[in-house]
Structure 1
């Protein structure tokens, strides 16, 4: 291991754990999967040894992390991987910080500061983009595969660059949902993902209708150029303007009801883009309604697997140039000890915030 400086022995990190006594008191959940869903799961913050990066890994001292809706499903709803129970920092997967050590087999940057693609070294600031099901960003330190970090420029502001993880996911998802000739769209859910979709669609000249149940998020949607209304009003708004339906519906709320609504809002042979986890392990979907309208349903996951992680690089550039607004998404902050509360707040529509940032070491 190559380290820039001596490292502490211990760190603070969030963790998901299974309390057998609590599990015995809870009913067996209706959905199936790992067998642990929702039973006896508790989430808290504890002390851990600082990890040592293995071959092909780097150790990142985390400065910031942000909470994604998928973190709520993984930490609170039983969508986790059983082998990740008690893993430090799980399931945070949107992070930013500084490399402080590298393991064996990592391509090191030159001592003169000159780098080649893929070269990493202690002192380099990065965003971390691991798979959500393997994340460890809710921690003071994170050992992570070198291929899951993206170096930043000197002029990048860490908390703004942090937003490139989810923005990159929406960029890659829209590339899958997009059809030539798309002129109208609806975005269901105006959390950070929905707001990113709104901005990306407006930049392409698309007429966007959007909805949420939170007044503050609806206001953000309007500022970003959408005709945004309460979720109860969207059907009538779209029907009045486009009785035939819209070309593309992006479902970014992650609810069975909004995925059914997405099918209803799409025109005949339109596209429904489903973003994020389903509401429950098995979920429901209006198959007959989709069949009758002959809609194309596009599901998206694993932006981290995109070739060369192009979407995250494109996201960073969009943030740098101001093509996509992110500053309002960095305003609500909590500390590492508050991660459990931040997850609950995110479940409650962010309590009006588009995004919650966890400040670890600014």
Structure 2
């Protein structure tokens, strides 16, 4: 099979490998499509890789869809079944023609859903599911949500995750007063999806925009979905007293990071972090995401505009890293017809 791999930090290549042999707890999946997650960039370029996975085919891709191979399957997932693959991020190897995946991290896709919606769109349920899971955590302490009502919210980062969170907040009745990003094209998408105001960083000040929109009070909930120390500080500055900051963005670097503890302490800010959607019982958030996509409740087509093929995975990762062209996400076609 053909597969991308990371021979050493900072470099991605594509080469030939043997088709993996699944363990007893795994099934073999013929991959159809994949997409680049922001965490993949951190793994390749920012020191978040696992040494034992350097050189492993398909690593670090973990957002994928495919079909159970003819040589694999079980009573619940027979050969030919389309599946969403949602392995724990550090175990993903979907930048390859085949991937061995633990049975517990495979979600079958009904034939009707594939026919009506398209397997490419259903792929986006992987990341949408992580944002559904994250918002559940963030709303545990957010003002307004505690009373069953929407409030004011703001989002830093208009990549695919930020735009999904924007839509989910609007569905919950929140007034999303501001969305910030470095790219004008992404901000145009945020405005189209319902953001009341967009903030082009670094020229415009996100905190000032949020305070202006809320009469100096700050937003009830500020979600940081960009993954920088500076933007986490902006989130704390823009949230109201006793409000909630939701940290969705990946750490900027391994190890200790600066954080405005004094400001968060004095304003009694609740800070919620999010990881581990793959370990939620029943993979509930991913299944909810599939329903949201099937019903058209959440728009995903903006995540399918930047496209590469398997042989172009190095290019795909570079496009995602540089945000070239303002694409919220980079899609990888592996085997369009299975």
Give the structure 1 partner of residue 18 of structure 2.
49
Give the structure 1 partner of residue 300 of structure 2.
326
Give matches, 1:132-147, under 5 Å: 132-147=89-104
Distance 2:277 2:100 in 1: 20
Give the structure 1 partner of residue 175 of structure 2.
207
State the Cα distance separating 1:17 from its structure 2 match: 1.4
Question: If the length of structure 1 is used for normalisation, what is the TM-score?
Answer: 0.86
CA contact (8 A) 1:276 1:301 kept: no
2:105 to 144, 148, 158: 148
Give the structure 2 partner of residue 263 of structure 1.
236
1:222 pairs with 2:179: no
State the Cα distance separating 1:182 from its structure 2 match: 4.3
Residues 182, 292 of structure 1: alpha-carbon distance in 2 compared, 3 angstrom cutoff = farther
State the Cα distance separating 1:184 from its structure 2 match: 0.3
CA contact (8 A) 1:53 1:102 kept: no
CA displacement 1:253-286 (0-9 Å, x = unmatched)? 0011100000000100100000132111122211
Question: If the length of structure 2 is used for normalisation, what is the TM-score?
Answer: 0.92
Distance 2:45 2:97 in 1: 22
Distance 2:314 2:264 in 1: 38
Max radius of gyration: which structure? 1
CA displacement 1:222-273 (0-9 Å, x = unmatched)? 0110022213242222121211100000000001110000000010010000
Distance 1:42 1:69 in 2: 16
Aligned residue pairs: how many? Answer: 319
2:247 to 270, 274, 284: 274
Distance 2:138 2:323 in 1: 25
State the Cα distance separating 1:97 from its structure 2 match: 0.8
Unaligned runs of 5+ in 2: none
Tell me how large the CA RMSD over aligned residues is: 1.3
1:170 to 118, 123, 131: 131
Give the structure 1 partner of residue 208 of structure 2.
236
Unaligned runs of 5+ in 1: 1-10, 19-37, 110-118
Distance 2:154 2:163 in 1: 12
The residue matched to 1:49 in structure 2 has which SS?
coil
Residues 17, 135 of structure 1: alpha-carbon distance in 2 compared, 3 angstrom cutoff = same
Distance 1:349 1:249 in 2: 23
1:92 pairs with 2:98: no
2:288 to 314, 327, 337: 314
Give matches, 1:116-135, under 5 Å: 119-135=76-92
1:17 pairs with 2:7: yes
Distance 1:132 1:340 in 2: 19
Distance 2:324 2:56 in 1: 25
The residue matched to 1:195 in structure 2 has which SS?
helix
CA displacement 1:8-49 (0-9 Å, x = unmatched)? xxx11111113xxxxxxxxxxxxxxxxxxx5xx422111100
State the Cα distance separating 1:77 from its structure 2 match: 1.5
Residues 335, 169 of structure 1: alpha-carbon distance in 2 compared, 3 angstrom cutoff = same
State the Cα distance separating 1:350 from its structure 2 match: 4.8
Distance 2:252 2:150 in 1: 28
Name segments (4+ residues, structure 1) moved above 4 Å.
none
